[in-house]
Structure 1
Amino acid sequence: MKNEEWSLSRRQVLRRVGGVTAATLLASVTTQVATAAAAVPSSKRFDLTDPSDEWFREILLSETRIMQSFAFDNTHKHLYTAQLIQGGILLPGETQAYTAADRSKNGDLCITRLDWQGSIVGRMYLKGFGHGVSIGVEPSGSGAYLWTETDSVPDSANDGYGTKVARFKFANGTVIRPDSYQVTRFDPVPSSDHNSVAIDPVNNRLVHRYRTDGSSWKFSLYDLASFKAGTFTPLATVTQPAVLTGVTFQGYTSMGMYLYTVDGTAYTYDANGNQTSTSNTYLTSVDWNTGAVYERRLSEAGKSLFYREPEGLAIQIPDSANPGAARLFLGFGSEASLTDTDKKASFYYKDLLV
């Protein structure tokens, strides 16, 4: 944390700077039906009532548009973020600059690589991939492979979302397309849309979120090595819990036996800049074996941010020699004021495993 009175206890400090407080807790246990090819071994879970620590507050990324998702390379101590490309950017090989709406419709993404001090150390561009709802990172040798959605198709709102899954090596300064030679594409659920992925770095598993029949949302959990080999036999598949119906879904991740999701929207303001809403950011944990919601809690992490839109979840392992000491990270996009709308990114984490 930054600029805090360290004479206070850690728990007091956490409560002051954006943890979940007793007055704002909301627990909901909803039973859902899950179809599982095999039981997912039991594991510890993150306690969602644990107050959140601040890691970075309002750091700059490569683009001025809001961060959509993020993921960690825990081996090389890198943070990767995904944003839609801003309007007016002319990429190598392009003959014209496109508007922000064009970039959204096409599903054009910017991936920024940062070190764990918050400095930008690389970027690459993905044309025609999707919205960037969630990404995954797979460390390999001296670099890393990224997992994203791909083969973007615009929806009714003219926002592009992936219909397949992609794996490619991060290459600083490059521009790639779904059919680029660097990209391996996977189609685990043919005819699905709104595909996205996340990685459980502790257990080397991949989560695939997708929609079928235009309305049915599901999550499938795979062994990462088997998925890469083209064997699409999930360890478990769960239907998106009913408690997430009608909310603004903002990301997910997984560790062990639990799937974690985040939903919510940004603060609203009146014409004079007065805040007219409070936090509606919720974290939810779901049991992979039953599909039941284990815990759902209101989060006030980053409460004092201006704008404050939740954008993504990811698992960080601070010490690769001790994967059991993992952190559940929550990201936010924000802006300085009603007139200064260039987006920045902030990150908070929970580390109490029970």
Structure 2
Amino acid sequence: MNRTSGSPLSRRSLILTGAGASLAALGLGAGAQTASADVAVTKRFDLTQPSHDLFRSANTHGARVQQSFAFDWVNKFLFVATKRSGSPESAGDLCINKMDFDGNYLSYMHLNGFGHGVAFAALPDGSGTELWIECAANGSGYGTALAPIRYTAGTTLNSPAGSAAYRPIAGATEYTCSVDPVYRRVIVRYHTGAGKRIAVYPLSALETRNFGTPLVDFKQPAISGTPQGYTLYGSYMYFLTGDAYPGDGTPTGDGNSYVTSIDINTGTVKQGPVLTKAGSTLHHREPEGLAIYRTDAGEARLFIGFATGVEGDRRSSIFYKNVLV
């Protein structure tokens, strides 16, 4: 099996090394769609290696499934995006749950009309957190721009527009993003008339609100299965696909949750799709979200999320891989 029963991590064990360093501004114009430079080749996660538990079946503010999650690597919090209870899929209404690394729910924030929540970023902002997330949901409930918002517990925010919404790729109609806190980059997945594409920028693109020319830009390779999340580590993108257990959600077989690594310099698959059995005994078990974190000991980890639990009481379960090759 591709799962081991690791002990849950404490907050202390997940402290990031070297967090909070300042980044230089890009000072470049926006809208380019071609690669301007190659990214230095790095190690990648071996997706065939076992997965370990961060936590299982953690409660969130709402009763619906999680969509994705992101780490604030300085203030040591985890943010989980869930669908809003009582809201239709097309509305793009999200609930952002603030949690600690043991899976304890701390607070929530409601976002009206933002998007589907496939992926987002949680940037340290002093003692708080700035979320970079899709906004201005279209009629299908997917965000048509990116926006920075400060997480504010217990509040409801309507989707921004105008100068508060960012569209770094000319002609793109949908956006999501995720952050690599180790190599300090942001990956943007965007939609065009020709399909999905991927662009990678320095993290300063978010910090300065100036995206400039992407480091790389390529067409997303064809990967079968239902897309459920993505993230970036070094020179490799990681892509999650799969579905919940069928029927009433009772665990059956190995499921169909797969993780694939993609070389961002070539835009081609490096490893996978690789079946993951992390949390295979959990009810429902729908793959939902990927994120990167590094411990204070310098260990990089690829985190894999699942929506678990019974209908009307969905829970968050998160695992990780930590073997680099």
Q: TM-score, normalised by structure 1?
A: 0.79
Partners of 2:277 and 2:174 lie apart in 1 by: 28
Q: Which segments of 5 or more consecutive residues in structure 1 lack a partner in the other structure? A: 1-11, 19-33, 88-99
Cα–Cα, structure 1 residues 348 and 58, in superposed 2: closer, same or farther, change >3 Å? same
Partners of 2:84 and 2:3 lie apart in 1 by: 36
| Per-residue CA distance 1:312-343 (angstroms, 9 max, x = gap) | 00012232xx5x4111000000124xxx5421
Matches within 5 A, 1:274-293: 278-293=254-269
2:153 corresponds in structure 1 to 172
1:186 match: secondary structure? coil
Contact 2:187 2:198 in 1 (8 A): yes
Give how far 1:124 is off: 0.8
Q: Which segments of 5 or more consecutive residues in structure 2 lack a partner in the other structure? A: 7-32
1:260 corresponds in structure 2 to 238
1:248 aligns with 2:200: no
Contact 2:182 2:293 in 1 (8 A): no
State the AA in 2 paired with 1:351: N
Cα–Cα, structure 1 residues 115 and 275, in superposed 2: closer, same or farther, change >3 Å? closer
1:310 corresponds in structure 2 to 287
State the AA in 1 paired with 2:153: N
2:304 corresponds in structure 1 to 330
Partners of 1:312 and 1:207 lie apart in 2 by: 14
Contact 2:196 2:219 in 1 (8 A): yes
1:126 aligns with 2:111: yes
Partners of 1:113 and 1:223 lie apart in 2 by: 26
Partners of 1:16 and 1:74 lie apart in 2 by: 25
Identical-pair percentage:
41
1:223 aligns with 2:222: no
Give how far 1:353 is off: 1.4
Partners of 2:3 and 2:165 lie apart in 1 by: 44
Give the greater-gyration-radius structure (CA): 1
Cα–Cα, structure 1 residues 291 and 86, in superposed 2: closer, same or farther, change >3 Å? same
Contact 1:221 1:236 in 2 (8 A): yes
Q: TM-score, normalised by structure 2?
A: 0.85
State the AA in 2 paired with 1:171: T
Partners of 1:64 and 1:343 lie apart in 2 by: 5
Cα–Cα, structure 1 residues 64 and 255, in superposed 2: closer, same or farther, change >3 Å? same
Contact 1:17 1:301 in 2 (8 A): no
Partners of 2:96 and 2:161 lie apart in 1 by: 16
Partners of 1:288 and 1:69 lie apart in 2 by: 22
Matches within 5 A, 1:14-163: 15=3, 17=5, 36-87=35-86, 100-101=87-88, 104-155=89-140, 160-163=141-144
| Per-residue CA distance 1:234-264 (angstroms, 9 max, x = gap) | 000121111x14x200000001111001000
Give how far 1:61 is off: 0.6
Comparing 231-240 and 68-77, the one that deviates more: 231-240
Partners of 1:269 and 1:121 lie apart in 2 by: 32
Cα–Cα, structure 1 residues 256 and 121, in superposed 2: closer, same or farther, change >3 Å? same
1:189 corresponds in structure 2 to 169
Partners of 2:251 and 2:180 lie apart in 1 by: 37
Give how far 1:138 is off: 0.7
2:142 match: secondary structure? strand
1:209 corresponds in structure 2 to 189
1:348 aligns with 2:319: yes
1:94 corresponds in structure 2 to none
2:320 match: secondary structure? strand
Give how far 1:16 is off: 5.2
Give how far 1:232 is off: 2.8
State the AA in 1 paired with 2:203: L
Contact 2:291 2:303 in 1 (8 A): yes
Give how far 1:191 is off: 3.7
| Per-residue CA distance 1:160-191 (angstroms, 9 max, x = gap) | 0001011111111121122389x932111244
1:90 corresponds in structure 2 to none
CA RMSD for the aligned pairs? 2.2
1:239 corresponds in structure 2 to 219
Partners of 2:52 and 2:271 lie apart in 1 by: 20
Cα–Cα, structure 1 residues 189 and 16, in superposed 2: closer, same or farther, change >3 Å? closer
**Count of residues in Structure 1 that have an aligned counterpart in Structure 2:** 297
Partners of 1:318 and 1:179 lie apart in 2 by: 34
